[in-house]
Structure 1
Amino acid sequence: MRLTILGGCGAWPEAGQACSGYLVEHDGFRLLVDLGYAAFPRLLRQIGADQVDAVFISHGHPDHCADLNPLLRARALRDDPPAPLPVYALPGALDAVLALDRPGMLDDAYVLHEFTAGSPFDIGPFRAETRLLPHWVPNAGVRLTAGGRVLTYTGDTGPSPDVVALARDADLLLAEATHVDEVPEDSRRYLSSARQVGRQATEAGVGRLILTHLWPGTDPAAALAAAADSYPGKISVATPDLSLDLP
């Protein structure tokens, strides 16, 4: 299983960067996990729009799904459009982004699979297990298993024992860490800090931790240091074009 970071900014993209977008590959199958602002041009540095095999969206905030629109446009408006793209999301999560174009324009470009969190399903070679994690809108954290390797991605979430359950013994935890240490009071139920994520990674026994969704302007070194206070393993910050194979 191979992970390539397309973007990892929270809320909006900093100059030259992108919001949440992750390319996960196994046995030639290419799965996009989230596709926020500016992630699509980053994707095109890796593969063509027609080479994407499926998309999984954690939740409906635009910094996680806005660039689904240009991806579908790039597939629908070419002279030889590829087969409809399977798109997996919670019910209603993509209503806004799929309504950006005139009615019917993109209908043949995708097949929407709305899933119920907690019910496992397959996406190509990946077994997907999901749980609702606390956020302002319904958010599905996902555990992807393929070839004996496990990647867990939180989407955006406040502290929850379900994060640890979803990440238990995963090879890699890709975790939202919007804040370094203290989460503002009005967001404490819905967002996490690097310090909290480090504790959760240790409790879950994950093999590696990647911090993502850092608030624009956050010092990556400070986030790494906060997570390292409680997690002794390898930690990285999600930066565009970072690519790694799960061991």
Structure 2
Amino acid sequence: MELTILGCSGSVAAPGNAASGYLITVDNAPAVVMDLGPGTFAPLQELANPSEADVVFTHLHADHCLDLPSLLVWRRFHPELAAKGRNLCFGPERTPVHLGRLSANGDEVDDFSDTLAFAPWRHGQTEILGKLNFTPYEVDHPVEAYAFRVEHTATGSSLCYSGDTAYTENLIEAARGVDYFFCEAGWGPDGNDKPIGMHMSGGDCGRAAREAGVGTLVLVHIQPWADKEATLEAARAEFDGEIIVGEAGMEFEI
């Protein structure tokens, strides 16, 4: 499987880097979009037909889901590439209401079941999307939020995407032994004196990668104002494996 970073800027989009969104592609299976934050729909169009992709959400904060209305417009109204059927959509329980309000014309809720078949995540319950197994793990964030363990059913290759979370044992279980760990470092190099139950620092990411025994750590969700090099060094102090600072457009063969 191949993962492309559509955007990985933390909390807000940055010049040249949209907010959170990732595309997973596998031969002869639907593509899967993990999160669809502001600005991610544009690079998605360059890589896949949005009308043929499944979409999954870690949580419903705006920086992870705000481009869904654009996806719905494309799927419904594109003159040549409109969706010919429904694709899968997974997310927190409130996804249809929360995101349906974003794409509605007024106070009502836009029922997008005409083009996306929604089901809510259940902690530890694996869902099959094409040739991929997605297992959600509840994590520590102010809203219902999940990390994903993703495994290719044929090859066994694996990745974990943390979504947004503070350090939690569930995240370690989600990432246990994966080839690539895409982990949020929303507090930059140092999370001291920051609110608890929100995000992770570079040091937290390195510790989680070490305890989970991952292959490669990819630091993502770093805010535009944070020091990326210091965040990287904080992760290196905890993890001696390969560490990459994620950037928009990066591709990973997994």
TM over 0.5: yes
Whole-angstrom CA distance in 1 between matches of 2:189 and 2:245: 15
Aligned to 2:58: 58
Flag the 1:94–1:212 CA change in 2: closer, same or farther, 3 A. Answer: farther
Q: Is the 8 A contact 1:37 1:66 kept in 2?
A: yes
Letter in 1 for 2:60: G
* 1:179 maps to which of 177, 181, 187: 187
* 1:139 maps to which of 135, 139, 145: 145
Letter in 2 for 1:125: K
Aligned to 1:22: 22
Q: Is the 8 A contact 1:199 1:231 kept in 2?
A: yes
Aligned to 1:119: 125
Aligned to 2:214: 206
Identity %: 28
Flag the 1:191–1:24 CA change in 2: closer, same or farther, 3 A. Answer: same
Whole-angstrom CA distance in 2 between matches of 1:45 and 1:39: 11
Q: Is the 8 A contact 1:157 1:176 kept in 2?
A: yes
Whole-angstrom CA distance in 1 between matches of 2:48 and 2:12: 23
Aligned to 1:197: 205
- More moved, 194-203 vs 106-115: 106-115
Q: Deviations over 1:68-99 (max 9, x none)?
A: 11011111112353112211112013522222
Aligned to 2:114: 108
Aligned to 1:32: 33
Q: Deviations over 1:18-65 (max 9, x none)?
A: 01100112223311111101111121222232232x111000101011
Aligned to 2:232: 224
TM-score after normalising by structure 1: 0.93
Q: Counterpart of 2:133 in 1: which secondary structure?
A: strand
Post-superposition shift, 1:104?
Answer: 4.7
**RMSD of aligned C-alpha atoms?**
1.6
Aligned to 1:85: 87
Whole-angstrom CA distance in 2 between matches of 1:104 and 1:93: 11
TM-score after normalising by structure 2: 0.91
Q: Deviations over 1:143-188 (max 9, x none)?
A: 0000211111111001111111111110010111112232254522
Q: Counterpart of 1:45 in 2: which secondary structure?
A: helix
Q: Counterpart of 1:127 in 2: which secondary structure?
A: strand
* 2:173 maps to which of 165, 188, 192: 165
Letter in 1 for 2:219: L
Letter in 1 for 2:101: A
Q: Is the 8 A contact 2:59 2:91 kept in 1?
A: yes
Letter in 2 for 1:10: G
* 1:148 maps to which of 134, 138, 156: 156
Whole-angstrom CA distance in 2 between matches of 1:121 and 1:49: 21
Whole-angstrom CA distance in 2 between matches of 1:63 and 1:28: 30
Letter in 2 for 1:209: L
Letter in 2 for 1:226: A
Number of aligned residue pairs: give it.
Answer: 245
Q: Does 1:13 align with 2:13?
A: yes
Q: Is the 8 A contact 2:187 2:200 kept in 1?
A: yes
Whole-angstrom CA distance in 1 between matches of 2:96 and 2:196: 25
